[in-house]
């Protein structure tokens, strides 16, 4: 017995149900929104036999055009086909798509030129502009899991596969297309949710990195420069066609993992006091205590003068007293000059200097009848630093930022594709010979991504234009010389260093710095 008009044979319906399940599975795994929208429309057309179709997405109080396909006109626009200048459609009852979005109802129109449907002028306007002849239309609202309309699917002209004639959309197709529309809406919502979550996480990463950088006037932009340089090196590894790195290829997910780790490698510094990170002199805490030392020595000099006056009033030889007072004040001036010089982190303290510091610290002066030591124990400790401005305790505090980075990042539920971010970020101060920190990893225990991060972190820090502990910027030759020494000491990866130098990847830092300067100028 022939099938009734508007229906399909049972076997065909069974095949369609099977195909619907296959489509649902395919849509659920697609993560590219553009590709997803294209596939939804293509599958819906193939499922219903539609000659053409359009997909709109809800944006505020309008429907925005996403993609359109038309076999007869050989017209494919939107998405990967290229954008079309199609104005947004108001969400109201004046258009077929607006009506479906407003009411949430599906429209199955046998012929758009029938008087019943003449209130919707959109299809006829489309025909006038393109020369197309729209007859049947199936307009389906796409609802998300909360029942909200997130888009509208328009299918045009159902073509019978046997006769190739255009007719109405069959009743069984109409029922099944609602299920497809539901699956499509869920897929779109999931992709948007993933995209929005990734964008939120990306914003969080950059905000945290900016906050860490901007805590110090000396390190502003360090994290961004390291992240971009790490990408430069990783891409160079991927392009490498010869040598020990020729077989290494970072997948897109691994590049992204390195990028996120680079942006977050210094997150542990948020727990490090700013005055430790930026300590410009040995006596600096919240402020440079050399000023207190100067005031103290002014007090010592004044006390020497008062003592000389008292001796003169007591009958001592004025000339002898004056000479002794002048000698004492000159000695105090010399001592203070020595202490001011010792406060400079660029001064290397030899054994004789350290012995003189101990002798100075042992002296006590009477000021207003009270004994005042030349130096406090903490001042002596800080001024005795042989090189640089940090005490051992302060160095440990700064070193703690790497272990703190690991601890903080391990609290974040990273996705499977980013699961190694804490490991990579936390290993940027490890050394191949095991003398690095915080875990003392060695050799193969340090991933190639972490080795890249270690290389560019040292290079960027050495290349910084301004550091409180450095009198002037280092030359490029000096920086590269230090990097080579680190390689020779088996601290940095020799293969990465060779690639870095041979391809002159270090020049990319100049481009990155120039771009950041331009951006700042544009913002100001």
> Which CATH number does the domain housing residue 164 bear?
3.30.450.40
According to the model, what pLDDT value does residue 523 have?
Answer: 81
Domain boundary among 389, 417, 448: 389
In terms of domains, do 296 and 411 share one? no
- Specify whether the CB–CB gap between 92 and 98 falls below 8 A: yes
Question: Tokens at residue 424, please?
Answer: 């990579």
Q: Are residue 384 and residue 489 in the same domain, yes or no?
A: no
Same domain, yes or no: 63 and 168: yes
Q: CA 142, CA 186: separation in Å to the nearest integer?
A: 9
115 inside domain: yes
Residue-range definition of the domain harbouring residue 37: 10-194
Please give the average pLDDT of every successive group of 10 residues along the chain, which has 524 residues.
36 66 73 83 87 92 91 85 80 93 93 90 89 93 88 93 88 82 84 84 82 65 92 96 94 94 88 72 85 92 90 88 92 94 85 93 88 92 86 77 88 90 94 93 95 96 69 84 96 97 94 88 81
355 and 418, same domain (yes or no): no
E strand residue ranges, 60-187: 62-70, 75-78, 89-90, 107-109, 137-143, 149-159, 166-167
CA distance 452 to 458: 10
pLDDT of residue 134: 93
Residue 187 vs residues 17, 20, 29, 67: alpha-carbon distances, Å: 18, 14, 8, 16
Report yes or no on 499 lying in a domain. Answer: yes
Last residue of a domain, one of 372, 389, 406: 389
Provide the H-helix boundaries in 343-489.
351-362, 377-383, 392-409, 421-426, 448-462, 476-488
Report if residue 203 sits inside a domain: no
Q: Are 58 and 30 in contact (CB under 8 A)?
A: no
In a domain, residue 45? The reply is yes
On whether residue 201 sits in a domain, the answer given is: no
- DSSP three-state, residue 144: coil
* Residue 478, in any domain of the structure: yes
Distance CA 363, CA 508 (A): 55
CA–CA separation, 306 and 216 (whole Å): 45
Same-domain status, 271 and 317: no
The beta strands (E) that lie in 135-231 are given as 137-143, 149-159, 166-167
> Angle at CA 139, nearest 5°, toward 134 and 141?
160
Query: Is 260 within the bounds of a domain?
Result: yes
Half-sphere exposure of 485 (CA within 13 A, CB side): 8
| Contacting residues for 227 by C-beta, under 8 A, at least 6 apart | 209, 259, 262, 263
Identify the three-state secondary structure at position 55.
Answer: strand
Q: How far apart are CA 467 and CA 483, in angstroms?
A: 18
Question: What is the reported pLDDT for 519?
Answer: 85
Helices and strands in the chain, H and E counts: 18, 10
- Cα angle 100, 106, 111 (rounded to 5 degrees) comes to 95
Which long-range contacts link 403-409 to residues 24+ away (Cβ below 8 Å)?
Answer: 403/268, 403/437, 403/438, 403/439, 404/267, 404/268, 404/269, 404/271, 405/264, 405/265, 405/266, 405/267, 405/268, 406/268, 406/438, 407/268, 408/267, 408/268, 409/264, 409/267
Pairing of strands 89-90, 62-70: antiparallel
In a domain, 369, yes or no: yes
> 49: phi > 0 → left, psi -120 to 50 → alpha, else beta; which?
left
Residues 231 and 358 in one domain: no
The verdict on 246 and 148 lying in the same domain is no
Residues 25 and 153 in one domain: yes
Report the CATH number at residue 406: 1.10.3210.10
Contact call for residues 246 and 240 (beta carbons, < 8 A):
yes
Residues 333 and 421 in one domain: no
* 438 upstream amide cis, omega within 30 of 0: yes
CA distances to 22, 113, 263, 524 from 17, rounded to whole Å, are: 9, 32, 47, 60
Beta bridge partners of 59: 62
Distance in angstroms (rounded) separating the CA atoms of residues 238 and 26: 31
Does 264 share its domain with 327? no
Q: Is 86 helix (H, G, I), strand (E, B) or coil?
A: coil
Residues in the chain: 524
| pLDDT for position 220 | 60
Write out the two tokens for 452.
Answer: 């890249």
Nearest to 14 by CA among 174, 153, 176, 147: 176
Task: Answer with the one of 389, 416, 442 that is the final residue of a domain.
Answer: 389
Q: 468 and 404 in one domain? A: yes
Q: How many domains does the chain have?
A: 3
253 CB-near residues (< 8 Å, 6+ apart): 417
- For residues 400 and 385, state if they share a domain: no
């Amino acid at each position: 017995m022939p099938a009734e008009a508007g229906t399909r044979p049972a076997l065909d319906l069974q095949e369609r149900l099977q195909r619907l399940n296959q489509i649902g599975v395919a849509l659920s795994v697609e993560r590219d929104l553009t590709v997803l929208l294209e596939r939804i429309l293509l599958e819906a057309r193939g499922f219903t036999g539609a000659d053409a179709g359009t997909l709109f997405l809800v944006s505020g109080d309008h429907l925005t055009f996403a993609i359109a396909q038309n076999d007869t006109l050989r017209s494919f626009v939107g998405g990967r086909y290229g954008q079309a200048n199609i104005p947004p459609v108001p969400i109201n009852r004046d258009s077929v798509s607006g009506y479906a979005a407003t009411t949430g109802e599906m429209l199955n129109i046998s012929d758009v030129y029938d008087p019943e449907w003449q209130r919707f002028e959109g299809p006829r306007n489309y025909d006038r502009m393109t020369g197309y002849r729209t007859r049947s239309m199936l307009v389906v609202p796409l609802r998300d899991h909360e029942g909200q309309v997130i888009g509208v699917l328009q299918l045009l002209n159902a073509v019978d596969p046997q006769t190739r004639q255009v007719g109405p959309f069959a009743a069984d197709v109409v029922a099944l297309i609602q299920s497809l529309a539901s699956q499509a809406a869920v897929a779109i919502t999931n992709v948007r949710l993933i995209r929005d979550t990734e964008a939120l996480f990306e914003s969080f990463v950059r905000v945290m990195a900016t906050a860490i950088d901007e805590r110090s006037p000396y390190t502003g932009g360090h994290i961004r420069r390291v992240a971009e340089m790490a990408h430069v090196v990783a891409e160079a590894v991927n392009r490498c066609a010869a040598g020990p790195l020729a077989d290494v290829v970072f997948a897109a997910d691994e590049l992204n993992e390195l990028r996120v780790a680079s942006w977050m490698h210094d997150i542990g510094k948020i727990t490090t006091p700013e005055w430790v990170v930026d300590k410009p002199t040995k006596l600096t805490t919240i402020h440079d205590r050399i000023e207190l030392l100067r005031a103290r020595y002014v007090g010592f000099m004044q006390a020497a003068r008062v003592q000389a006056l008292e001796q003169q009033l007591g009958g001592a030889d004025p000339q002898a007293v004056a000479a002794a007072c002048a000698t004492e004040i000159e000695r105090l001036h010399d001592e203070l000059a020595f202490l001011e010089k010792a406060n400079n982190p660029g001064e290397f303290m030899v054994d004789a200097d350290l012995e003189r510091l101990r002798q100075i610290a042992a002296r006590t002066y009477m000021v207003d009848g009270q004994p005042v030591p030349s130096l406090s124990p903490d001042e002596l400790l800080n001024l005795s630093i042989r090189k640089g401005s940090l005490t051992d305790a302060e160095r440990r505090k700064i070193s703690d930022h790497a272990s703190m980075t690991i601890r903080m990042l391990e609290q974040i539920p990273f996705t499977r594709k980013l699961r190694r971010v804490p490991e990579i970020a936390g290993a940027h101060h490890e050394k191949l010979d095991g003398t690095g920190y915080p875990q003392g990893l060695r050799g193969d225990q340090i991933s190639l991504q972490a080795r890249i991060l270690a290389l560019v972190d040292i290079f960027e820090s050495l290349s910084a234009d301004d550091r409180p502990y450095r009198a002037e910027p280092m030359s490029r030759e000096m920086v590269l010389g230090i990097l080579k020494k680190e390689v020779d000491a088996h601290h940095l990866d020799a293969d990465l260093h060779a690639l870095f130098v041979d391809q002159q990847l270090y020049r990319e830092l100049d481009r990155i710095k120039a771009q950041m300067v331009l951006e700042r100028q544009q913002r100001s």
